[in-house]
């Protein structure tokens, strides 16, 4: 039995058991290893992917749940918001060890895409990923940069510094 869905814009069929975690199916079968394993319990967000626009913890999502849906991993991230977010991440030099960063980038992209007019604080309050290197100052800065470039306004960089 296979599960059919769209992965990074391409029709994909996974043979992994439908009840097994999407995380491992993506990493081991689809070989999209940008999806990271952190806790296996939906607590840290390293495994974040975007499912039909929503940030989703793939480690606690059964493969069957994404049948017929569209899944985006860091490998397939595209579009204006994603571009603004990744460029902002680089400008802020956010990553250190970097392991959790794809999850943050996907979470930020998903949240901002839902409403690019949000304030920094609104966006940040919806990002619950964890970073052990503690890159949080740089992540706040990056979110501010991304909103600024999308909104063409200046107020967000200030907001990001809280």
Q: Can you give the binding site for another protein, defined by CB under 8 A?
A: 16-17, 20-21, 24-25, 27-29, 31, 33-34, 36-41, 43-44, 46, 73-75, 77, 86, 89-90, 93-102, 105, 124-125, 127-140, 161-162
Q: Would you state the structure tokens that stand for residue 13, as one six-digit string?
A: 């069929």
DSSP 71-126: EE-GGG--SHHHHHHHHHHHHTT--SS-TTHHHHHHHHHHHHHH-TT--HHHHHHT
CB nearer to another protein: give 6 or 75: 75
Q: How far is the CB of 151 from another protein (least distance, A)?
A: 21
Q: How far is the CB of 102 from another protein (least distance, A)?
A: 4
CB nearer to another protein: give 125 or 155: 125
Query: What's the rounded Cα separation, in Å, for the pair 114 and 130?
Result: 21
Query: What's the rounded Cα separation, in Å, for the pair 136 and 123?
Result: 14
Q: How far is the CB of 125 from another protein (least distance, A)?
A: 7
Q: How far is the CB of 51 from another protein (least distance, A)?
A: 17
Coil, strand or helix: which one is 32?
coil
């Amino acid at each position: 039995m296979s599960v059919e869905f769209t992965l990074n814009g391409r029709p994909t069929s996974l043979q992994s058991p439908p009840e097994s975690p999407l995380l491992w199916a993506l990493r081991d079968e689809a070989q999209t290893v940008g999806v990271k394993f952190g806790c296996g319990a939906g607590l840290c967000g390293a495994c974040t992917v975007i499912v039909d626009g929503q940030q989703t913890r793939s480690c606690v999502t059964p493969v069957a749940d994404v049948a017929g849906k569209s899944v985006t991993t860091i490998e397939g991230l595209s579009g204006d918001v994603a571009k603004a977010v990744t460029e902002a991440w680089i400008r802020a030099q956010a990553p250190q060890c970097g392991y959790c960063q794809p999850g943050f980038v996907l979470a930020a992209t998903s949240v901002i895409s839902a409403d690019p007019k949000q304030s920094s604080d609104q966006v940040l309050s919806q990002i619950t990923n964890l970073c052990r290197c503690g890159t949080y100052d740089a992540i706040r800065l990056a979110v501010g940069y991304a909103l600024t470039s999308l909104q063409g306004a200046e107020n967000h960089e200030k907001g990001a510094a809280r």
